[in-house]
Structures are given as structure tokens and as C-alpha cells.
Chain A
Amino acid sequence: MTARAPLLHLDQRTVRKARKLAERAAAPVVELARTHTTTSVERAVLRLAGLTGADAEGIPWVNRLVDAVAADVGLEHGVALPVFDALASGEHADLATLAQKAAAGGAQFRLPAGVGHQRARRLAQRAVGAGIGRIDRARKDRDVMLRRLGDPPKPWIYLIVATGDIYEDIPQAQAAARAGADIIAVIRSTGQSLLDYVPEGATREGFAGTYATQENFRLMRAALDEVSRELGRYVRLTNDASGLCMPEIATLAGLERLDMMLNDCMYGIIFRDINPRRTFIDQRFSRQIHARAGIVINTGEDNYLTTADAVDAAHTVVVSQLLNERFGLEAGLQDWQLGLGHAFEINPALPEQFRLELAQAQLVRELFPHAPLKYMPPTKHMTGNVFFGYLLDAFFNLAGVLTNQEIILVGMMTEGIVTPFLSDRDLALENVRYVRDACAGLAEDFVPARGGFIAQRAAQVLAESVELLERIADEGLFTAIADGTFGITKRPADGGRGLDGVVVRADGYYNPAGALLEQAGPVGRPA
């Protein structure tokens, strides 16, 4: 989207200062991610090397193999060298056989030195390079489809489909696409983010969401390809990368040509109690993969406003967006891949609520002129009054159109009650279409008065953001998270789940994927 001329007359020095501070606040966390690895990062390496499948209990072979290596030699040198050293011995036919034997205690691992080291490194590089090659091909396939079928105009309409059963999801997703959805999000079953492995196969038993598995990704992408061809426009697919398996899910998304991924720097910490260190380390690797795959990430700042007040905590959203931007760019993502999140969550009972929402939405628009912003509908103040909810969603749609938001998540009138009925989605799309068409071009007439209510509110939120960033840059992001700065939820750096999977990298640490990805892949704007 070409950025429109700024309307709020924000003080550009303050904006630059905010970015500098975000960079300073992020630096120690990036350093942590560069010097540590996790079990899930190492499992992602094996997935890239082509290891798939699971044992009879449903535990993936990548988990079994990483556990076996960890038991023998630890993970501080990475899983690649010991694994490919064992393969090079010629005693095991392939990775899958090695994993099976290792799980049964029939394989020994060591850290190769000298010639053995060189040989293992070469083998690992070749195997993982092939996986990255598959991601590159998936990206090319997307580019070709986009060229052939055409990319829908912005704003893109984003719709959630997740019945728990992939075979129910597919026809619903296709119906939604036919009714106008540009992006289908399959959100995950409750509890998946806490699983320290990625389930296998097609699944039919999720709670309030469908399990993210490689096979479910593949099935849904194929179904959307089919409907894309029928409609003559490319329908995007998105899922969640957050959770204990962020790097692996990011890898699977790249391999199966997902187009976007929910990938937030703090969501898992705050809303799933995943260990902060684990999250930041996993996040960097997963974003490197997304960067390579040409995937647009979606961040989750909107969620803070479900536990904190949308007026009082407006600046925490902006601060988190600046941090997400910083972490994203550092990992190799480009501006067009940063779907920063925000939301229409101010209490509708508040006088001038709509003006406050416009101020926030326009502020975010101007702070991130090149990012495909993802705008989330009201959730917290949606009640059982579906009629009022439908009205509120229309105002949300209007705010989105007026402030040029690029990814509009479709609000459901049943948000306060149940996961939506089929008809709720259809009604919601009717709402979006009406507002989008009736107000086409209206953004041009939205010119907030200079120094008026909207401009002042935006300037105030920006000033509060700088103040908070100063504190975070001084005290450290981990301290801020432990203090409950985001979503008024306190998460100490050593608390939460998954810290036991964090490992300090030793001097000779080797990760063929990391090495390839740091060299920056064939990134660029899609055709």
C-alpha cells in the first residue's frame, strides 16, 4: 500500500527516538537469542533435513532424535553434527532409521572432530539446504499463483475458521472464500501451544480450534488453491506459530506454503505462560524462516487489550509494535512482512469512543506506513446482545476503512458467546462488504483537524510510549515483562513452561539452517 500523506503531524523527532529506544531495548534480547538454542530450534533443523513421522505413541521422530542426542552429548553444539556424524558412519540407512534406533537405545552419538567434523558438516548442510530449497520453491509457487490469479486489493478480509475438525474446516473455509474472505486463519486447538511436539497427520478432535499439523496445513492449502483457481484470486492461509514449537511450526508453514503466521514476540509469554527466554530464542529462528518463506507475520498486540484497558494501555500496544518491528527486521523480515496487530477494544460506553479508536488506528497507520497492519475487531465488549455487536462491528469496519488498515479481521456478532456459526461468518462478511463499498474512498475525506481531539490523543499516546520505552531500555525487557507491563500479566524471566529446553550455545555450535538463514535469502517484495 502506498503510504498516504500523514494527517496527524506527529513530531518526527519523537518517532525516531521511539525507534532508537526500541532498538536499545531489543538488543540484549537479540544477543540472548544469538547465543542460545532450544530443543524446538534443533527439532526444526531436523525437520528441514527431511525427518518426518512419529512413533506409535504419536511422538515425532524429531523429538526422539533430539532427546537421544541431548542425552549422549548435550545440545550445546547443536543437533546437526552428532546426527550427521552418526549417519556418515553408514550404519543407518537414513534419518528416520537413525531416529528409530536412537529411540530404542540402538545408536550412540558423539561430537565429531577433525575430518569427521567436516564430513558431518557437509552432510548436514546438504540435507538442510534441501529443506530450505523446498521453502524457496514454495515461495516461488506462491509468486507464480499470485501473478496468474491476481492478488486481491487491500484491505484483505481475514476470517477465522476452526471447528476442531480439518474436514469440517475445509468446506467452511471454501465457503468463506467464495463469500469474499481473502485470508483464512485456522486457529489452533486449546492446549496445543503447551505441547512440546507437533502432532502428526490430519486431525478431527480439536477444542475451539484445529491442531496445527503438517498434514492439516497441506490439506487446507490444497483446498484453498482449488478455490483460488475457481475465484481467480489467490486466497491466503494463516495459522499460529506461537507456543513451545514456534520454530517447527514456522518451518512446516514454510514447507507447506502458508502465507501468513501469527508470530508475536510476547503472546506466548503473556497468554500461555511460556518461558520468556525460550520464547525470544524460538521467535528469532522462526522469524528467520518466515523471512525466507516470504510469509507475512501477524503480531498479537490486540490481545493486551483484553486484559488491560484499551485507553489506559494504548501506549503498551505501540511499544510492543515497535519491539515486534525491531525483532522482525533484525531476523531478516522486511516491512511488507510485518503485519503488526492492533484492535478496536475501547469500551463503547465511553463518550467519544469512536474518535479515540480513530486516533489510535491512525497513529499506528502513520508510525508504520509500510507495514500491512492487522486490525482486530471488538471482542472484550461484545456481549450476548448480538444486535448491538453487529453495530459495533460496523463501526470497527468503518474505522478500518477510514484509516487504511490493510488486514481486517472480520468481527463476529457472536464473539461474546460461542465460536461462530456458519451464518455468523456470512453476516459478518456482508457487514464488511457493505462498509467497504459504501465508504470506498472515504478515507480521502478523513482529515482530522490539526491540533484537534484525534491529533492530540495520538500525540499523547506516542509520548507515553516513549516514556515507557525509556524505562524498558534502562531496566530491560525481561524486567518489564516480569512487572506486568504488557496485558497486566506478570511473567518472570525464569518462570513459565519450556525453560528446560533452553541451552547455551558452546563455541563450536553449529546449526546449518541458522548459518544459511543469517546469510539472508532471496528476500524481496512479492511480484
Chain B
Amino acid sequence: MTEDAPRHVRPYGDTTGDGMIQLSFTLPVAPGPHAEAAAAAFAAKMGLDPAMVVHAKGVGERFTFFVVYGRSPVILDLDEVKVVEREFPLLTAKEINLKIRSRLKRRMVVVGATVGTDAHTVGLDAILNVKGFAGEKGLESYRELRVVNLGAQVDARDLVERAVSERADALLVSQVVTQRDAHLQHVREVADALTTGWPARQRRPKLLVGGPRFDPASAAALGADRVFAKGTTPREVASYLVHELPAGGPARRSR
């Protein structure tokens, strides 16, 4: 933020401080003057003043779609705005490989899957496959990482079982379908399977969750260690993985 950037802001329509915003929504109200008045009332209750219903169109007989322009009274204090800042430094591939070798004294094992009934693999592959994403090579290209990519539609228990047999250091779980909160449900299943299925004496692997519609702040609520949202790159994930390595910690695991 530059020196003279204001701390308190309002939305910008075409003049500083005008507070103008646009929104669109549908009400289950038959089209007509009553529907338009309802839309204006709804927007007013959202705080818009004035609230201009600039477009109203019936969708079938029971619904009306609206576009509303209006002025929001909200003044935002930017100092109150919180973001999930990257809590770890972004390293180069070389630094990442070096850290794994010196701290773990063996290759780090990551097991990835899209769990539940979700069949989307492009996001997971973007992180794992050599081809990578946004010009960065995927985790498979790191010499000190051993990647097991189980693909999609993997049952949570099967994933954990495989992770046990591979002695995984991290589980990478992808979820794309979010209708009826399917993604949250599926991640919780993995967290539960880890709790019940992971050998007590073995160090529990990190649970990384990714997908375009996750709230980055929701890790704890999901029983995960970290959530990666839209636009994540492989290097970010690799950097996180080494950041989470215990400094000079145990090189070998029990068992």
C-alpha cells in the first residue's frame, strides 16, 4: 500500500466515495410492479440507498430476475481486513530439494487424490504432474519428493490405507465439486479416516486440501493442516511442505 492510500474506502463507481455497486438476483415472485417493489425493498434492506431496480425480467411465471444499482453506505476500514498471508517463504526447487535432503535424510513421500465421488483431476495434476501449472513444474519434478498420484474418485479410507503403506509424509486432497457442500464432507471423511486409520506410533502426515472454492481460513474446521485455493502453484505447495518439516527433527520414523 502506498503512503497516501486511504485507510477508509467505499466502492468506486465513477467518483471517489460514491459507494456505487451493482448486483443481480432472482426473487420467487411473479413479474410485475409488486416484484419490482419487492426487489427495491430487498436492496434497501441490504443497505442500498438509493436502490435502483434497473432491470426486471420474469423467468417463467413464478420468478423475476433483477439487476440493481445502488449506493452502499458501508465504509471499510482496511486495517480491519484480514488475509491468510503465506506463513512460509517461497523457495526455489533447489532450496526445497536441499532442505528435504538435509532434514529428512530421505525422500519425502506425498500421496495425492481427489476423494469421494469427485472425478476432477486437472487441479490435482496441475500440482503433482511434471507438466505443472502457470509455468512451474509439478511436485513430481522434485528429486527429493516421491509422488504417488491416485487419481480421482478415491475413497477416503483407501487413500489413508495407501498412505500408510507408502509411509506418506503428506496427503494432498483435491475437491472441485461443491454442490451441497460435497467438498467439505469429503475432506472431513479423510480427516476422520486419518484419525482412525493412522498407526498411533507413526508421525501423522500433513493433510493438505486444495480446490477452487475452499475458504483458505477453513483448515482447522475441516481437520486439515492447510487449505490451498484457486491459482495455487506447485512451488507454493512444495515450499509449504518443507516449511512444515521439523527443523533438524527425526530423520527416521518409528516402525
Contact = CB atoms under 8 A, between A and B. Distances in A.
B93 interface: no
Interface string A415-433: 0001101110011000000
Interface string A292-328: 0000000000000011000000000000000000000
A29 interface: no
Contacts of B116: 190-191
Contacts of B16: none
A272 B119 contact: yes
Contacts of A179: 59-60
A131 interface: no
Interface string A242-281: 0000000000000000000000000000011100000000
Interface string B136-169: 0000000000000001110000000000000000
A435 interface: no
B182 A423 contact: no
A208 B177 contact: yes
Contact of B59 (A194, A273, A419, A426): A426
Interface residues of B, number: 23
B155 to A, nearest CB: 10
A207 B177 contact: yes
B10 interface: no
Contacts of B153: 191, 194, 272-273
B152 A207 contact: no
Contacts of A190: 116-119, 177, 182
Interface residues of A, number: 25
Contacts of B118: 190
B218 interface: no
A10 interface: no
B57 interface: yes
Interface in A169-213: 171, 174-175, 178-179, 189-191, 194, 207-208
Contacts of A427: 65
A224 to B, nearest CB: 15
B59 A175 contact: yes
Contacts of B180: 164, 207-208
Nearest to A421: B26
B178 A191 contact: no
B122 interface: yes
B65 A426 contact: yes
Given A190-B177, A207-B179, A273-B153, A426 B57 contact: yes
Given A191-B117, A423-B26, A418 B63 contact: no
A207 B182 contact: yes
Contacts of A273: 151-153
B119 A271 contact: yes
A189 B26 CA distance: 25
7 contacts: A164-B179, A171-B60, A178-B60, A179-B60, A207-B179, A208-B179, A423-B24
10 closest residue pairs by CB, A with B: A191-B117, A175-B60, A190-B117, A423-B65, A208-B179, A426-B59, A423-B26, A207-B182, A208-B177, A207-B179
Interface of A: 164, 171, 174-175, 178-179, 189-191, 194, 207-208, 271-273, 306-307, 418-419, 421-423, 426-427, 489
Given A418-B178, A426-B57, 18 more contacts: A164-B180, A171-B60, A174-B60, A179-B60, A190-B117, A190-B119, A191-B153, A194-B117, A194-B153, A207-B117, A208-B180, A271-B119, A273-B153, A306-B122, A307-B121, A423-B25, A426-B65, A427-B65
